[in-house]
Structure formats: C-alpha cells, structure tokens
Amino acid sequence: MAISVFDLFKIGIGPSSSHTVGPMHAASEFVGALRERDLLERVARIEVRLYGSLSATGAGHGTDRAIIMGLMGERPERIDPAIVGPCLEELFESQTLLLDSRWAIPFVWGRDMQWHEECLPHHPNAMTLIAHGHGSELYRNTFYSVGGGFVIDEQQAQAGDLDTDITALPYDFNTAAELLALCRMHSMRISELMMANEKAWRDEADIRAGLWRIWGAMRECVDNGVSHEGVLPGGLNVRRRARKLHQRLLATEDDTSLIASTFSAMDWVNVFALAVNEENAAGGRMVTAPTNGAAGIVPAVLHYYMKFQPDASERDVVDFLLTAGAVGILCKKNASISGAEVGCQGEVGSACAMAAAGLAEVMGASPAQVENAAEIGLEHNLGLTCDPVGGLVQVPCIERNAIAAVKAINAAQMALRGDGDHFISLDKVIRTMRDTGRDMQDKYKETSRGGLAVNAIEC
C-alpha cells in the first residue's frame, strides 16, 4: 500500500477525521457517483444509515452534519466551517436538502437520518447512503471511514482491497526495520527517503509547497485557538483555556529562571496543543495529524521547535513533517490510526510517536535514534482507550493532546541522549498496539459506552 505524507496530513474541519472528515468525503463521493450515472435529477429522497461507532458517537462528532454538507457537494478541504451552522438551520427549517448544491429534495431529519446500533462486518465506522427515485431505488453504497479521513466503499471492503493507491515507490517499506535498512543501505536520513518516495506523486517544489501549506494551516489553527474564548459547543460546558494561558504566557516571558523557563516551555507546548484541539472541538479548520482527535500533538511539537530553536528553518518544517509521516505510515499499515478500531492509542499514541520522530529528525538524530524516539512515544501510550465524554471530542481529548505533546518531546530527548540502540523495536510496539486494540472491549473504542464517558456522567 502506498501512503503519501499528504494522506496523513490533510486540511479539513473538526471535530473528527473518522466521524466528520471521512463521512463528508463519503457523501461527496456518493453525490459524484450519482452525477456520473446521470441520476442526480431523478433523486426524490436520500436515506442516510449510520452504523456502529458512527452511530454511537456520531451526533457528538457532527457526523450527521458532515454528511449533509457532503451531500450538498462540499468537501472537507474546501469547506468554510462558518457556513455549516446556517446551512443546517436552513435545512431544518425548510426540510429541503440541496443535493450537489443544485437539486432540491425533501429531507426529513427523523425519517432520513437513521442511527443503527448494529455494526457492519468490515469496520466499526460504517454508513450506507441510499438514493430513492419516485417509486424505486436508484443507487446505494456503503462506506467505511477507516481512520484519519480515509474512506473505502463496499466493493473495496469486500475485496479486502484497502490498497487504493498502488503507486510504485523507490524506497517502499512496510516495517520500521525495512525503513532503517533502506536508510543504512542508501546512506539516507528518514526525511530524505520520504522525500524520494513522495516524488513518485509530485515534484519536489510541489511537495515543499504542499507541506508548507500544511504548516500554514496548522499555524492558522493555533492562531484561531488562542484568539477564541468561551464555552465549546455540545452541552458539556467545557471552557476554552488556550487564550487565557496564551495571554498569561505573553505577560510573563521576561522571567528567565530555570524553573520558570522549563515551566514556560511546557506551557507553550500546552497552549499550542490546547489551541488546536479547542478549535477542533468547535468544528474549525484543521489538519489531520494523523486524525482530528489527535491533531494537536504534531503541530504543538513543531511550534515548540520553531519557537525555541533559534536557527529553525523552512527546511526543518518539511523534514519534520516527512519524518512524522513515515511513522504515521508504519502505524497505519501495521496497526491502525482509528480510535474506533484500536482505541486512543491508535490516535494519540500514533501522533505522539510521529511528533517524537519529527522532532528527533530536525534535532539531528540518526535514523536509529528517530526510530527509538517514535518507539518511546508510542510505547507509553499503549492500552490507551477511547472514551470521549458525551461522544464529544473534548474530554479527555483536548488535554490528552497537550500531555502527549510533552511526552513526545521527552521521547525525542531520551532518544537523542542514547545511541539508537534499545530494547523494544518500534515494530514490536506497533504490533502490540494492534494486538491490544484487538483485545480491547468495544466499549473503549469510540462508542462512549465505557471509561470516562460513563463515569463522568455517573459522578
């Protein structure tokens, strides 16, 4: 399976890559299929069926709203988050959906948006879209949102063919051991090898410009996060914290004592991560990294590096993201980056490993040290369950990103103090994540039926 760094870092909207970005993509693909088959103007009604985790936590994650926007022809990378609220209000009032922004059909929420507890066989995040004509069914497809905004349809799932991209890469790797061997054999750093692979899709100037755009979107997200305040939507009454913390930090930047500087650096990391994840919870413009729920960790660590490393450069941003991407690819290929599949270890754990690897790379680590940094970052998130309170990507998600960002920095630091030789390999930790995810009860996999989601409400 060929995965590009741009598959892992995608610009979209919050609050969830698997529950918002993926379903919006699926709905927009569905509309594209109707268009291609010349069926659009024969559609009299659309039925949306949500299954498994999409049904259990879809309301809190905005899955229903994302699907509606996708049916209206919007795509996650283009949509202006500000239009979602007004469009939905209009739909509720008129009970009319403008399919592909041009074909008006009735949409009765209680009838046409259906929530099913059962799970479909191929993946816990499943949805079926059915287009009815006058008196007959015109077209249907089932989509699986497999994490990080990736979507496959029924045909691909049945063929067991999750490998939608068969691009031949010059330095293809499936495991960390293979990646390290290639680096050794060709005397390459991980970011160099990744750059060479990315050139299979686009030229170097486009890769650099694309990654710079990703970094720009991450910066914009932090800027938005530190300028908004108030209570996050959804009903939990969670207050935004990033803005206040940011203002306090700006006011105390002159204190240069060691303890103050250490605390201050950690505060900055927290502020960057909180800002991103608060924006995510509010449905703002985001970059999956590799998912939305865990989207604060990579930008927080990269912001930290860019703020505190005096000679940090544009080149470092590219190297950081390419290296983080290599680790994300390994997690996705050999375990999962989906909380609904393996719990939060797949989201926050993978993101922590990616950020640790990216930081180690730009700090001059050898490939073995980078692999060690990723391994430490992931190992200490093993077993982490997904239990978002109220089905919202707020508690524990927002704070968890800040904690994991600090952990990623420590992981990179520990790896840089060593020589790359270590006891457990990254491959073994990824395999353990996969096995632990398999053994984890479903109530801890993005269903909000266990853990904090249950106890927070009981308390």
Question: Nearest-CB residue to ligand SF4?
Answer: 293
Cross-strand bridge partners of residue 386: 445
* Contact status: 393 vs ligand SF4 (CB under 6 A): yes
How far is Cα 92 from Cα 48, in angstroms, rounded to an integer? 16
CB 278, CB 295: distance < 8 Å: no
Write out the two tokens for 435: 């096995």
> 28 or 345: whose CB is closer to ligand SF4?
345
When binding is defined by CB under 6 A, the residue of 225, 293, 325, 328 that contacts ligand SF4 is 293
* Cis ω for the linkage preceding 15 (within 30 of 0): yes
Cα 252 to the center of its chain, rounded Å: 33
CB 335, CB 329: distance < 8 Å: no
Least distance CB 292 / ligand SF4 (angstroms)? 8
Closest CA to 26 of 153, 186, 188: 153
Q: Which residues of 436-451 are buried (b: 16+ CB within 10 A; e: fewer)?
A: bbeebeebbbbbbbbb
Residue span 145-174 as binding mask against ligand SF4, x where in contact by CB under 6 A, dash where not: ------------------------------
How far is Cα 266 from Cα 293, in angstroms, rounded to an integer? 21
- Burial (Cβ within 10 Å: 0-12, 13-18, ≥19) of residue 452: middle
> 222 or 294: whose CB is closer to ligand SF4?
294
> 294 or 406: whose CB is closer to ligand SF4?
294
When binding is defined by CB under 6 A, the residue of 232, 281, 344, 412 that contacts ligand SF4 is 344
> 279 or 347: whose CB is closer to ligand SF4?
347
Least distance CB 340 / ligand SF4 (angstroms)? 8
> Which residue in the block uniquely carries the two structure tokens 């920095």?
409
Residue span 394-423 as binding mask against ligand SF4, x where in contact by CB under 6 A, dash where not: --xx--x-----------------------
Segment near ligand SF4 (CB under 6 A), from 22-30, 47-55, 392-400, 426-434? 392-400
> 303 or 445: whose CB is closer to ligand SF4?
445
* Contact status: 388 vs ligand SF4 (CB under 6 A): yes
Name the amino acid, one letter, at 193: L
> 234 or 339: whose CB is closer to ligand SF4?
339
> 34 or 269: whose CB is closer to ligand SF4?
269
Q: Show contacts with ligand SF4 in window 303-342 (CB under 6 A).
A: 339
Q: Show contacts with ligand SF4 in window 46-75 (CB under 6 A).
A: none
CB 258, CB 239: distance < 8 Å: no
> 58 or 339: whose CB is closer to ligand SF4?
339
* Contact status: 348 vs ligand SF4 (CB under 6 A): yes
* Contact status: 347 vs ligand SF4 (CB under 6 A): yes
> 66 or 363: whose CB is closer to ligand SF4?
66
* Contact status: 294 vs ligand SF4 (CB under 6 A): yes
When binding is defined by CB under 6 A, the residue of 84, 386, 406, 440 that contacts ligand SF4 is 386
Least distance CB 236 / ligand SF4 (angstroms)? 13
Least distance CB 412 / ligand SF4 (angstroms)? 21
What is the size of the binding site for ligand SF4 (CB under 6 A)? Answer: 13
Q: For binding to ligand SF4 (CB under 6 A), which residues are involved?
A: 293-294, 339, 344, 347-348, 386, 388, 393, 396-397, 400, 446
